Structure 1
Amino acid sequence: ALNTSIAFFVLGLGLVVNNISHDIAERKHDAETLRKTHDELELRITERTTELAKTNEALQTEIIERSHAEEALKKSEERFRSIVEGNFDAIHVLDPEGRFTYSSPSVERITGYKPDDIIGKYFKYFIAETDIPKAEQAFYGMMSGKTMEMVALEATKKDGTPFIIEANGSPVFKDGKIMDIQVVYRDITEKRTIEEQLRHSQKMDAVGQLASGIAHDFNNILTAIIGYGTLLLRKNPDDNLVNEYTSEIITSANRAAALTRDLLTFSRKHTINPQPALLNELIKMVERILARVLGEHIEFKVKIADENLVVKMDATQLEHVFLNLATNARDAMPEGGKLTIDICHVNLDNEFIDAHNYGIQGQYALITFTDTGIGMDKNTQSRVFEPFFTTKEVGKGTGLGLSMVYGAVKQHNGYINVYSEPGHGTVFKIYLPLSEEGVLGENKEPEIAAPKGNMETILLAEDDPDTRKIIKAVLEEYNYKVIEAVDGNDAISKFMEKKGEVKLLILDTIMPKIGGKQAYEGIKKIDPNIKAIFISGYTADMIKAKDLLETGFELLPKPIMPDKLLVKIRGLIDLKEGLMK
């Protein structure tokens, strides 16, 4: 029994030990499994942590990059806005229906409208009615996908002032559809005004060149007419009928000469002789003449300046200016009216120059001619100073009156404006610069009878045969001997043949081969004391520009008046003989 008990005890103990061993083994296994699981978890946590760190790092990098991109975009938008809002040109964005959705600040400077004033308005809001069809054509062209090239449009500012814009634009696409229309424009009113002034100046210069050429040939013809007329008048002093007819011929020739001077004046080719004079006194002198020109059916009033205004002027030319303006006013008031001449002192400052696109700062005399006549439309105003342009009937005007006025004012370094509306009269404003020089006393040349010669020999070089013939006839009639030459070379040859006899040279400035100046220089080498009178059908300005004559030489412009030529000849011959003695 004991052994049995012991056996059971041992068996039970073995089972216990076995169970314990099994538990220990399982626990070891579980511990190992737990360790492995822990290690795997640690590894996964480490890997995930590393991944999260990388992801976080990438996210941080992305955040920084996005922040930089947003900052760059913000700067770009600010730069764009600064460019748009600071642009001198006006910028608009239109929706597909043609309404303004954006307007840059420059719009207010150009049009007077604030951007908010026109948002929601249609694109033709401030376009002039006459140019709306052109604006519509441009808009619908852009809506069809085309780019609008530069288009000039007349428009009206908020205050009613008309102006001209030059616009271009293009459609903005998104996903193949037009979302907006972008338009950019600028005010070109000043540019157009300057261009028009340039075109007018070029036109005047072109016609001036033509006038100068015409004057040369015309003056040669007039020299012959006036010369032969003068000789005929003095050949028959007792024949009243012949004298009457001859006087009419000479008078008509003088009128033609005046017409030639008018041609040269408007082209600013005619030489003037300006002297400081009182403008008020000139107006007083011509007031009575102007009143007779206007007639009794026109009320005439002159208001002179409160101060003495000294202008450096060619008084004769300004008289013609006033006469032409008065005549123009008279013709504009066939049923009667009123002409007022007002003279005052004005200061041309930067504001005036900016407004009119011309002028030099300084003190000016302003002469205003205001009539209550029929007035002029814009087209007539734009052409009023053009030579040969006239609205009068054929035979009632040459079209040179106002062009002569324009040229004379320019020669006096002045400016002239015209303001007019149909049915509301016309205003001419003339600005003449004031002079600080003192007024000179009158110095009129006394009239001297044409003196006769003492059979002195004169060498006459003139390429025009008719002019040469009449000058020779005049000189021979007044007791001079004449040697003729057809050009400069011929003059030198003839002088060498007769160098001991020739007392004086009469030389045309422009001749074939060599001109008068070169011929004179050649002859001076032979006889340093020889004197010369130069004659020319060209203008003094042209002669000076081409260096055809130096200052100090005696120049007689054609048409040549016989008495003036004879007085000049006698004076130079006597001067030479006095010097020789």
Structure 2
Amino acid sequence: MKLRRLLTLAMAAQVIVTAVALLASYAVTGAGFGMPEIIALIASGAVAVLLARFCARRIETSQQKQAAAQLAEQAQASAQMTQAVIKTALDAFVQTDANGIVLEWSFQAEALTGWTRQEALGTDAVDLLVAEPLRDGFRQRMMRLLPELSNTPIGIRFEATLLHREGDEILIEASSTALQIGGRTVINSFVKDVTQKRAAEEQLIQAQKMEAVGQLTGGIAHEFNNMLTVITGTIEILADAVKDNPPLATITKLISEAADRGAALTSSLLSFARKQALQPAEIDVNDLLEELAKLLLATFDKNIEIVTRLDGKIWLAFADRGQLSSALLNLAINARDAMLDGGRLTLATRNVVFGVREAVAVGAGYAGDYVEIEIADTGTGIPQAILERIFDPFFSTKDVGKGTGLGLSMVFGFVKQSGGGIKVNSTEGRGTTFTIYLPKAETSTLRPAGYDERKVVGGTETILCVEDDRDVRQFVTVQLQSLGYKVIPAANAAEALAIAGAGTPFDLLFTDIVMAGALNGRELADEMVAMRPSLRVLFTSGYAHDAPHGPGHVTMGAPLLPKPYRKAELARMLRRSLDTAVDAAGDPIPTPYSVQADVEDFLHKHSSDLDGR
């Protein structure tokens, strides 16, 4: 603006000078336009040209300086913005030349690699970050990528394994671009650590693989259980028929024992697949631990000593026997893995009574009586840094393929679901102790020695038996009839609904859960109970994925008889279902009780008060 004003003033002065010259010439000569006027005009024009050139050069020089200043300011602002982006970026920034020499090294790069900026600048990035045996190969790879970088404006993305200053491997993902600055190639790379991300992805893949295997395993176990149901049931009939023939009785016993082993195998498969409904019952944990000790003695290395310290007066615990067995075996295997050079595994039990504070400390559901199970090893122990995470799903210290990271989380879930608690104490180099607390069963004493849980009690009621497997349906019909019941067989839910719709009377619906057709057993039971609220229901299944105990179903709480089952088990579950008193709406009728004890207690207290007076 100042130069333009100067030029305007100069032009105005030139006009004034010209006018004055002309007036002066006219005043002196008194004549018209002559030589003096021409000279004055030429002089005035020369002055105007000189003034214009002078001002134009000043303007041009000023504009160049101004443009240069603006460019410098923009460059400085851009550099500051670039530095701000680099400093605030979540990823590390590394700048190198075409030979891999470090030109720039951000704070995040320091945190990622352990090398400071002062240590990194001017060094070879490959020598700094790549293990020595891999450096030549890494350089060759980078040289192959350099032309691609130069021809790709958007850059390229790649993964590589780098070495931390402390020696740990880091899996990184880098986004690199190449720039030509001052005749040389500069490579800018943003680098982020994806070690944990890849580990999580691998764990997810492992878990998905195990889930797929579990689905397959559960399906196979379901079909196998259907066959075992027929085998285990019919062998009882055969054994009864040949009981007076010792050679044949021995053979039937061998068949029965093999069928029991097959049933145990499918139970383990279903437990592995997590498709087995939790069925808590009164169990003697001492018996369970003695069986576990025998199994461990037969399978563990001889350099591991198995010691049992079982309380002879242990209470009965209330938990699922199969799930508890799996949990204890899981803990024992973990203990074995921690004692590669041998050691001692101790299995112990005792009774404990918790107050509120003690129950909260171990995570138990409530204050009261508990059965304590302790599994202690003399292995390597668990580092304190990860001790609080061992029950987290997918957390594992084992190599990929050697564990899913779900073992301890499943133990924790089972114990909590059972209303108990679990705690762990560990010292590195000395060993680990897991302690499980399970609620005491309502029965306060052990079962009498003469207790026979296979006592068979039949009935005369009518049972609608729904089973889509023909062989199993025929076997169950024979077993039910042998127990005295009247049986109405149905091959699927549609047939069963047709029988019920025709008004056929029956006392109990005995149905498989997993069946072909539009309705499964649970859905069939829901519809039938909606029509007949007082109907009793007993479920059976070799694959309890669609368990009947989920909320929102009218058959919630109906008992489940797992396949395969013996005749005595079938008889006991039938009586359990039929003998429960219900009203016309299907609700349980409270068991009558006497108030005589309360009356006597009141009269006794009243009499004592009178005597005291």
Structure 1 pair 271–426 and aligned structure 2 pair: CA distance change class (3 A): farther
1:262 to 258, 268, 271: 268
SS in 2 for 1:459: strand
2:461 to 444, 451, 456: 456
* Paired residues of 2:530 and 2:554 also in contact (CA < 8 A): no
SS in 2 for 1:529: coil
SS in 1 for 2:539: strand
Aligned to 2:163: 156
Inter-partner Cα distance in structure 1 for 2:122 and 2:288: 59
* Paired residues of 1:329 and 1:339 also in contact (CA < 8 A): no
Inter-partner Cα distance in structure 1 for 2:162 and 2:375: 33
Instruction: Trace 1:81-160 onto structure 2 (pairs within 5 A).
Output: 81-124=83-126, 125-129=128-132, 131-132=134-135, 135-146=138-149, 149-160=156-167
Instruction: Trace 1:180-199 onto structure 2 (pairs within 5 A).
Output: 180-199=186-205
Q: Say whether residues 1:79 and 2:81 are aligned partners.
A: yes
Instruction: Trace 1:72-471 onto structure 2 (pairs within 5 A).
Output: 72-124=74-126, 125-129=128-132, 131-132=134-135, 135-146=138-149, 149-173=156-180, 179-273=185-279, 292-293=297-298, 294=300, 297-299=303-305, 316-323=322-329, 326=332, 337-339=342-344, 371=379, 381-385=399-403, 408=411, 439-441=439-441, 443=443, 447-471=452-476
Aligned to 1:512: 516
> For 1:419-473, what per-residue CA distance to the aligned partner results, in whole angstroms no more than 9, with x for missing partners?
xxxxxx99998999x99xx944455887544343344332211111111122122
Deviation at 1:52, TM superposition (A): 3.0
Structure 2 residue identity aligned to 1:82:
A
Is 527-536 or 104-113 further displaced after alignment?
Answer: 527-536
Deviation at 1:383, TM superposition (A): 0.9
Inter-partner Cα distance in structure 1 for 2:563 and 2:137: 55
SS in 1 for 2:100: coil
Structure 1 pair 101–545 and aligned structure 2 pair: CA distance change class (3 A): farther
SS in 1 for 2:507: strand
In the alignment of these two chains, the number of paired residues is: 490
Structure 1 pair 75–483 and aligned structure 2 pair: CA distance change class (3 A): same
Q: Say whether residues 1:555 and 2:560 are aligned partners.
A: yes
Q: Say whether residues 1:566 and 2:571 are aligned partners.
A: yes
SS in 2 for 1:482: strand
SS in 2 for 1:180: strand
* Paired residues of 2:456 and 2:567 also in contact (CA < 8 A): no
Structure 1 pair 426–242 and aligned structure 2 pair: CA distance change class (3 A): farther
1:63 to 52, 65, 86: 65
Is 54-63 or 556-565 further displaced after alignment?
Answer: 54-63
Deviation at 1:203, TM superposition (A): 0.9
SS in 1 for 2:202: helix
SS in 2 for 1:179: strand
Structure 2 residue identity aligned to 1:484:
P
* Paired residues of 1:220 and 1:467 also in contact (CA < 8 A): yes
Structure 1 pair 251–332 and aligned structure 2 pair: CA distance change class (3 A): farther
* Paired residues of 2:282 and 2:441 also in contact (CA < 8 A): no
* Paired residues of 1:268 and 1:408 also in contact (CA < 8 A): no
Aligned to 1:484: 489
Structure 1 pair 290–551 and aligned structure 2 pair: CA distance change class (3 A): same
SS in 2 for 1:166: strand
Structure 1 residue identity aligned to 2:97:
D
Structure 1 pair 406–107 and aligned structure 2 pair: CA distance change class (3 A): same
Aligned to 1:356: none
Deviation at 1:227, TM superposition (A): 1.2
* Paired residues of 1:100 and 1:119 also in contact (CA < 8 A): yes
Structure with greater Cα Rg: 1
Inter-partner Cα distance in structure 1 for 2:191 and 2:577: 69
Structure 1 pair 409–314 and aligned structure 2 pair: CA distance change class (3 A): farther
Aligned to 1:3: none
Inter-partner Cα distance in structure 2 for 1:506 and 1:533: 5
Inter-partner Cα distance in structure 2 for 1:312 and 1:107: 56
Q: What TM-score, normalized to structure 1?
A: 0.69
For structure 2, list consecutive stretches of 5 or more residues without a partner in the other structure. 1-27, 310-316, 349-360, 365-373, 381-395, 418-427, 590-613
Q: How big is the alpha-carbon RMSD for the aligned residues of Structure 1 and Structure 2?
A: 4.9
Inter-partner Cα distance in structure 2 for 1:532 and 1:191: 49
Structure 1 pair 239–269 and aligned structure 2 pair: CA distance change class (3 A): same
SS in 1 for 2:465: strand
Inter-partner Cα distance in structure 2 for 1:251 and 1:525: 42
> For 1:232-291, what per-residue CA distance to the aligned partner results, in whole angstroms no more than 9, with x for missing partners?
3444545444444333333322322222222222332222357999x9x99988896577
Inter-partner Cα distance in structure 2 for 1:574 and 1:544: 20
Inter-partner Cα distance in structure 1 for 2:173 and 2:308: 45
For structure 1, list consecutive stretches of 5 or more residues without a partner in the other structure. 1-27, 304-310, 344-361, 373-377, 387-401, 415-424
Aligned to 2:10: none
> For 1:508-544, what per-residue CA distance to the aligned partner results, in whole angstroms no more than 9, with x for missing partners?
2233333334444554566543322121222245666
Structure 1 pair 41–80 and aligned structure 2 pair: CA distance change class (3 A): same
Inter-partner Cα distance in structure 2 for 1:276 and 1:84: 65
Structure 2 residue identity aligned to 1:262:
S
Structure 1 pair 380–552 and aligned structure 2 pair: CA distance change class (3 A): closer
SS in 2 for 1:382: coil
Inter-partner Cα distance in structure 1 for 2:541 and 2:288: 34
